[in-house]
């Protein structure tokens, strides 16, 4: 497993200063031949994309999506409007690529970015598919995003319990993705910027192997983002590594200026 690095950024916010630290890693896992995940962890945008599709389709879909979002970070600003423009361009990239003819080609996308052009800064989560954003706040871990999956719809309808969902035969079937079939917009959620918050952004390769409790455990045992990423990755691989695994840990400290 390659070494993981913690990066830092100081952001002035009026009478306070935001000190961010983050680390990211992606692994092919123990059973897949190709890593179809892609990661972008570059202030102010932190995302994971989990590609799907035959041959190289999924890898191309996730990479195209991340590269289009990387261009948004480079040119700015990061906003819902610019994210959706980037996703439209990514869809065109996917459609135009000769390796993405498979009907099931596409990618999930989930993550968080810092919105600073408003009077009070906010985190904004974005989500398409079943990759996830978690938030550890005041000792409690919460899944912030809602999966776009058949299983989640069955849970929401009261037809399936979370325990039954763990081994459901449709566990990998998602209902929304970035891909050539439909134009799709992410779900967004705004969150306050609070001192001490820790985000985990991950593909389902992590959540197949670690429970929410397990994720919280490794966050609490490792204060450094890189160490937390490495610990979770090692545990996911040890537990089977059945899928590609991508993890971003983002820590927030807010101080008086």
Residue 183 is part of a domain; what is its CATH number?
3.60.40.10
Q: Give the global pTM.
A: 0.92
Is the residue at 46 inside a domain? yes
Is the residue at 1 inside a domain? no
Instruction: Check residue 220 and give its pLDDT.
Output: 97
Domain that holds residue 250: 7-256
Instruction: Check residue 119 and give its pLDDT.
Output: 78
Is the residue at 40 inside a domain? yes
Total domains in the chain come to: 1
Is the residue at 202 inside a domain? yes
Instruction: Check residue 167 and give its pLDDT.
Output: 63
Is the residue at 231 inside a domain? yes
Q: What is the DSSP string of 155-221?
A: HHTTSS-HHHHTT-TTTT-BS--BSSS-----EEEEEE--TT-EEEEE-HHHHTT--HHHHHHHHHH
Is the residue at 169 inside a domain? yes
Instruction: Please list the pLDDT of the chain residue by residue as tens digits (257 residues).
Output: 778 999 999 999 888 999 999 999 999 999 898 999 999 999 999 999 999 876 678 899 999 999 999 999 999 899 999 999 999 999 998 888 766 566 678 899 999 999 988 778 999 999 999 999 999 999 999 999 999 876 666 666 666 666 655 665 555 667 778 887 666 789 999 999 999 999 999 999 999 999 999 999 999 999 999 999 999 999 999 999 999 999 999 999 999 87
Is the residue at 24 inside a domain? yes
Is the residue at 2 inside a domain? no
Instruction: Print burial letters for 58-75: b (CB count within 10 Å at least 16), e (below 16).
Output: bbbbbbbbbebbbebbee
């Amino acid at each position: 497993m390659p070494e993981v690095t913690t990066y830092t950024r100081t952001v002035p916010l009026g009478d306070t200063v935001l000190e961010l630290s983050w680390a990211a890693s992606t692994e092919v896992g123990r059973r897949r031949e190709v890593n179809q995940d892609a990661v972008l962890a570059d202030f102010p945008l932190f995302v994971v994309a989990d590609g799907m599709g035959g041959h190289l389709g999924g890898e191309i879909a996730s990479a195209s999506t991340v590269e289009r979002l990387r261009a948004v970070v480079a040119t700015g600003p990061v906003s819902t409007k610019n994210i959706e423009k980037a996703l439209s361009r990514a869809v065109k990239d996917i459609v135009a690529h000769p390796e993405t003819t498979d009907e099931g080609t596409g990618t999930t996308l989930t993550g968080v970015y810092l919105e600073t052009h408003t009077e009070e800064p906010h985190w904004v989560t974005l989500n398409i598919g079943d990759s996830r954003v978690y938030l550890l706040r005041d000792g409690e871990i919460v899944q912030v995003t809602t999966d776009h999956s058949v299983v989640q719809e069955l849970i929401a309808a009261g037809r399936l319990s979370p325990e039954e969902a763990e081994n459901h035969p449709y566990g990998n079937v998602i209902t929304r993705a970035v891909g050539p079939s439909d134009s799709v917009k992410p779900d967004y959620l705004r969150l306050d910027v609070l001192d001490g918050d820790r985000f985990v952004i991950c593909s389902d390769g992590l959540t197949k192997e670690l429970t929410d409790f397990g994720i919280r455990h490794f966050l609490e045992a490792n204060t450094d983002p890189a160490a937390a990423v490495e610990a979770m990755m090692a545990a996911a691989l040890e537990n089977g590594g059945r899928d590609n695994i991508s993890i971003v840990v983002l820590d927030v400290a807010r101080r008086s200026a």
